[in-house]
A and B are shown apart, each in its own frame.
Chain A
Amino acid sequence: MMLDRRRLLTSALTLGAMHAFPGLSLAQARPLVFATFTGSWEEAHKAVLVPAFRKANGDAPIVLDPMLSVDQIAKVNAAKANPPIDVMLHDPGPALVAIGQDLVEPYPVDKSTYFKDLIPEAQDAMGPAPFFQVVGLTYNPETVKTPPTSWADLWKPEFKGKVGITNLNSTLGTGWLVEIARMRGGSEANVDEGFKALEELKPNLAAVAANPGALATLFQQGQIDISPGNFNAIQILKARGVPVEFVAPKEGAIAFKTTIHIVKNSPNRELAFKLIEAALSPEVQTTLMNSPYLIVPTNTKVAMSGEIAKVLAKDTAELKKKFVFQDWKKINEQRASWIEKFNRDIKI
Chain B
Amino acid sequence: MKSAATARMTAPGDVTSFSLGLALPLGLVFAIFFVLPLAQLLYLSLHNDTAATVWGLGQYIKFLTDPFSLAVLGSTLLLGAEVTLACLVLGYPIAWLYQRSGSRLQTLIIMIVLLPLLTSVVVRTFAWIVILGRQGIINSVLQSMGLIGTPLRMIYTQGGLIAALAQVQMPLMVLPLITAIGRIDPNLSDASASLGAGSWRTFFKVMLPLSMPGIIAGCTLTYAAAITAFITQSLVGGGQMLFMPMYLYQQASTLQNWPFAAAISIIFLFAVLAIVALFSMLGRRARGYGDAR
A interface with B by C-beta (< 8 Å) = 68, 70, 73, 97, 161, 166-169, 173, 206-211, 214, 217-218, 221-223, 335-336, 339-340, 343-344, 346-348
From B237, B242, B247, residue with most partner A Cβ within 10 Å: B242
What separation, in Å, do the CA atoms of A70 and B254 have in the docked complex?
A: 8
- Inter-subunit contact A211/B234 (CB<8 Å): yes
Q: Is B134 at the interface (CB under 8 A from chain A)?
A: yes
How far is it, in angstroms, between the C-alpha of A258 and the C-alpha of B77 when the chains are bound? 39
Instruction: Known contacts A336-B255, A336-B257; decide if A207 and B235 are in contact (CB<8 Å).
Output: no
Known: A221-B136, A222-B134. A70 touches B156 (CB 8 A): no
A83→B237 CA distance, assembly (Å):
37
Which chain B residues border A166 with CB–CB below 8 Å?
Answer: 239
Give the top 3 A-B pairs by smallest Cβ distance, nearest first. A167-B239, A221-B133, A210-B234
A339 CA to B254 CA, complexed, in Å: 9
When the two chains form their complex, are residues B136 and A208 in contact, meaning their CB atoms are under 8 A apart? no
Q: Is the CB of A347 within 8 A of B250?
A: no
Residue in A161, A169, A207, A221 whose beta carbon sits within 8 Å of that of B254 in the complex: A169
Contacts of B249 in A (CB 8 A): 169
Contact of A207 among B238, B242, B246 (CB under 8 A): B238
Question: In chain A, what residue has the closest Cβ to B67?
Answer: A344
Provide a sorted-by-A list of 20 A–B residue pairs whose CB atoms are within 8 angstroms.
Answer: A70-B256, A166-B239, A206-B134, A206-B153, A207-B155, A207-B156, A208-B239, A209-B238, A209-B239, A210-B234, A210-B237, A217-B126, A221-B136, A222-B133, A223-B133, A223-B134, A223-B155, A335-B254, A339-B254, A347-B240
- Choose one: B68, B133, B246, B252; the contact of A210 (CB below 8 Å): B246
Contact (A167, B240) CB under 8 Å given A221-B129, A222-B133, A222-B135 = yes
Given A161-B153, A214-B234: 6 more A-B contacts, CB < 8 Å: A169-B249, A169-B250, A169-B253, A208-B156, A210-B235, A339-B254
Q: Is the interface of A mostly helix, strand, loop or mixed?
A: mixed
Residues from chain B with Cβ under 8 Å of A73 in the complex: 256
State whether A68 touches B253 (Cβ < 8 A).
Answer: yes
Say yes or no for B112: interface residue by CB 8 A criterion. no
Residues of B within 8 A of A208 (CB): 156, 238-240
Q: Which A residue sits closest to B234, measured CB to CB?
A: A210
Chain A residues with CB under 8 A of B238: 207-210, 214
**C-alpha spacing A211/B155, complex, angstroms:** 15
**Looking at chain B, what size class is its interface with the partner chain?**
20 to 34
| Known A161-B153, A223-B133; contact A343-B68, beta-carbon cutoff 8 A | yes
CB contact list, B122-139 vs A, under 8 A: 126, 129-130, 133-136
A residues less than 8 Å from B153 (CB atoms): 161, 206
Distance A11 CA – B250 CA, assembled complex (angstroms):
45
Please state if A97 and B256 are interface contacts (CB–CB under 8 Å): yes
Q: Tell me whether B242 and A221 are in contact (CB under 8 A).
A: no
Asked if A70 and B253 sit within 8 Å, CB to CB, the answer is yes
A211 and B130 CA atoms in complex are apart in Å by 18
B126 contacts across to A, CB distance below 8 A: 217
CB distance from B138 to the nearest CB of A (A): 12
A344-B68 contact given A211-B239, A221-B129, CB 8 Å threshold = yes
Contact of B255 among A161, A207, A221, A339 (CB under 8 A): A339
For B254, the chain A residues whose CB sits under 8 A away are 70, 168-169, 335, 339
Closest to A167 in B: B239
> Closest CB of chain A to B292's CB: distance in Å?
49
Do A221 and B130 touch across chains, with their CB atoms under 8 A apart? yes
Asked whether A339 lies within 8 Å of B250 as measured between CB atoms, the reply is yes
The answer to whether A221 and B239 touch across the interface, beta carbons within 8 angstroms, is no
Chain A residues whose CB sits within 8 angstroms of the CB of B134 once the complex forms: 206, 221-223
Q: Which residue of B lies closest to A71 (CB)?
A: B253
**What A residues does B156 contact at CB under 8 A?**
207-208, 348
Contact B235 A343, beta carbon cutoff 8 Å: no
Partner of B242, one of A68, A173, A209, A343: A343
Closest A residue to B249 by beta carbon equals A169
Nearest Cβ in chain B — how far from A180, in angstroms?
A: 16
Kindly supply a per-residue 1/0 record for chain B positions 205-220, scoring 1 wherever the CB is within 8 Å of any chain A CB and 0 otherwise: 0000000000000000
Chain B, residues 225-263, CB within 8 Å of chain A (1/0): the string is 000000000110111101000110110111111000000
B131 and chain A: residue at smallest CB distance: A221
Q: How far is the CB of A227 from chain B (nearest CB, A)?
A: 12
Smallest beta-carbon distance A272→chain B, Å: 24
Shortest CB–CB separation between residue A164 and chain B, in angstroms? 10
Closest residue on chain A to residue B250 by CB atoms = A169
Distance between Cα atoms of A97 and B130 in the complex (Å): 38
Nearest Cβ on chain A to B257's Cβ, whole angstroms? 7
Rounded to whole angstroms, the CA-CA distance of A214 and B122 in the bound complex is 12
Residues of B within 8 A of A161 (CB): 153
Contact of A221 among B135, B247, B252, B253 (CB under 8 A): B135
Residues of A within 8 A of B135 (CB): 221-223
Please indicate the chain B residues that have their CB under 8 angstroms from the CB of A207 in the complex. 155-156, 238-239
Give complex CA distance A343, B235 in Å: 17
